[in-house]
Structure 1
């Protein structure tokens, strides 16, 4: 594929003999094969897609993908750029959720400052950009006084990255933090920054455990804060293996009761898989009626959930994506945490996310419309135009030498070609050594220990 890149030049050109998932095309120029792929030619002019044409439409001397796949740029709708890349100085020795919270809280108190947060976030954005991502939503730990520094910082990063990555900002703090004056102040910061209001639920116990008496009043107050400011919601929900974590149903019911008009994305929803089937069915029906969108974080949840020392995990920790899709609930996949206490790995590569999710969640046989989960579906959840192959859209494309889905998912696709505005991107992955000055523990020589 790399010899193809020098041939993609000029303000106008054809790309010949490409394959793409038909589910990503607004107007497929032909029938799809058994894997859901369509073979076609594509025309780019002045940085935009000007034609999706039947195979054979392009001139014979046009650059050919030789049947390789062509996708729109990726959309990553759930990340944590403020936490990312701290593993070297703040590892999670147990690898479980409690260890993650402890390690990140200690690191936040000791190290989070404007310059080092900017360096880590910029590193992550450059990695995502090189992999072919065009839009990201990041959650920001929103505690006072930290939020008064971090939100302006990420607003500046959002502006600096405009035209390369569309960056959305979302708060994350425990639901109780939105009580009283602090909740008003946090919601105001989000609104003034053009962000999304987010929080995390932390219900515990078994399925018979009553909801805390203050949970529903707090949830109502949280919705009211968003309604008063015209904010969308993005919530971390039931991220545990405790069947008493039943916030998901109550969020859907609250949205319906209040006739909430904004978008609502819910993430994780892990506990739902362990709850009684009757509760699952009721919850899914309410979610569909309330128009909730779900974002699933398979790599992070596999890493954290059901982790017990010296015991093989019995549970994958991911939610009911197949049942949600069947119920008409849009599902996205996302990176979540990268190289911090919540997930020791990851590089904001959405093809890695899609590849691993396919294996973990059985998003194959057939592959169906699941390619939308890393492109069009998260774009719709974020309320942006991206993630689709359509005439008039920016030619932000990712080209793969892989022709069939088994070829695409068998390798990391390190030889992909990324186009931005119709031009071959020269972006490369940043070197880990750039982070040494920020995350190397005191007394350790970079690269040793």
Structure 2
């Protein structure tokens, strides 16, 4: 297969590329300064074969998007679990209370619904955090992990899913340890948690690192998701990372209290993160919704110090977090939308910022997730999404829903919109989708 005249802004936002794929692998990638004519025009609405040559007419192609922080088990649970105050505390309480009422079938159906939504928007890899609350009865405790592992297997020919169960944030007894060890033996991909919520956060961090070392698993932590500038468990996470030689294997997410800190302290924290080789993820949608609930007058955005973290060369991705649940009632599993929100909160709207936003949903999260060999480089498994847009300015302004996703050696999904004019003269948009080809 050849695609002529594609724009690949992670390489060069102005050039045109000729992308050639054989047996699902990228075999050549040639750069041109002018469009090359003479080929059949690529159409999102026609059935796409894995063989052929098409003129993309300057449309943007990006490596498959990677969502490095989701909660597939909680997604689309808002119908059952509300949150009247809109606070993180109520969301945690309400979900913990209601979750035993879900069935296996319900949880798996919601997991797959969100995974398919992510795929149609261009996401080809997901890291999902899964609740593992050992205070619940056994069936409820293991349900999320079991269902997402089953879904991971069932969807393996469409999308790559990493499973990071969240270890409890309280002191463990014999029953808790038995269940944790049994869960870790199921074949999960890493260990998660939220130690800043613990009454003994340092002890909880010690437990997480001990299990990670014993099972040789990477760590990905909800960290300091708080408006309180005194909350700084990130410092102990960094120290523990260095102490255990876990540099490059620890990711810290949210970091909301970092934004609330006095700047000199915040910079000292970021420098410590850099020393420990931590990687980071910002979750702008959920944190703009959850944080600042007690603020009067000027309400804080809730997101972390995006600019300063990037300035210190710390890998920083943007991710979806929660989708339609008590933690975040909105969202559609669209990383392009998340990148746009990152642009808003991080003041990243300039011409040189837009390629960086693209990296925050493609190459950087793949680095964090340890994904290699899948993308748009020669010798890699071709994994990409084509958008119906010809410039990054157009891409971020319009968030076009017309997209086609390629991976696993074939076209995986295509979505297109048709513009129609109603009798009253208003524009009406209709969407057609074929998520599986």
Structure with bigger strand share is 2
Asked whether 1:200 is paired with 2:187, we answer: no
Distance 1:406 1:412 in 2: 10
Could you tell me which runs of 5 or more consecutive residues in structure 1 were left unpaired when the two chains were aligned: 1-11, 26-31, 205-211, 430-449
1:130-141 alignment, distance < 5 Å: 130-141=120-131
The change in CA–CA distance for 1:158 and 1:353 in structure 2 (over 3 A counts) is: same
TM-score of the two chains, using structure 1 as the length reference:
0.82
1:50-449 alignment, distance < 5 Å: 50-55=27-32, 60-61=38-39, 62-109=53-100, 111-144=101-134, 145=138, 146-178=140-172, 181-183=175-177, 185-202=179-196, 214-260=200-246, 263-308=249-294, 314-365=299-350, 366-367=352-353, 368-385=355-372, 388-421=375-408, 423-426=410-413
Distance 1:299 1:37 in 2: 30
CA positional deviation for 1:425? 3.6
Distance 2:14 2:339 in 1: 16
| Aligned residue-pair number | 396
- 2:435 corresponding residue in structure 1: none
Contact 1:178 1:184 in 2 (8 A): no
CA positional deviation for 1:270? 0.3
Contact 1:203 1:246 in 2 (8 A): no
- Match of 1:332, SS state, is strand
TM-score of the two chains, using structure 2 as the length reference:
0.84
* CA deviation vs aligned residue, 1:216-267 (integer Å, no higher than 9, x gap): 3332232112111111101001101011211111100111122226611111
Contact 1:191 1:231 in 2 (8 A): no
The change in CA–CA distance for 1:98 and 1:312 in structure 2 (over 3 A counts) is: farther
Distance 1:64 1:178 in 2: 59
Could you tell me which runs of 5 or more consecutive residues in structure 2 were left unpaired when the two chains were aligned: 40-52, 417-437
- Match of 2:237, SS state, is helix
Contact 2:406 2:413 in 1 (8 A): no
Pick 1 or 2: higher relative contact order, CA cutoff 8 A, min separation 6: 1
The change in CA–CA distance for 1:378 and 1:249 in structure 2 (over 3 A counts) is: same
- Match of 2:28, SS state, is strand
The change in CA–CA distance for 1:346 and 1:313 in structure 2 (over 3 A counts) is: farther
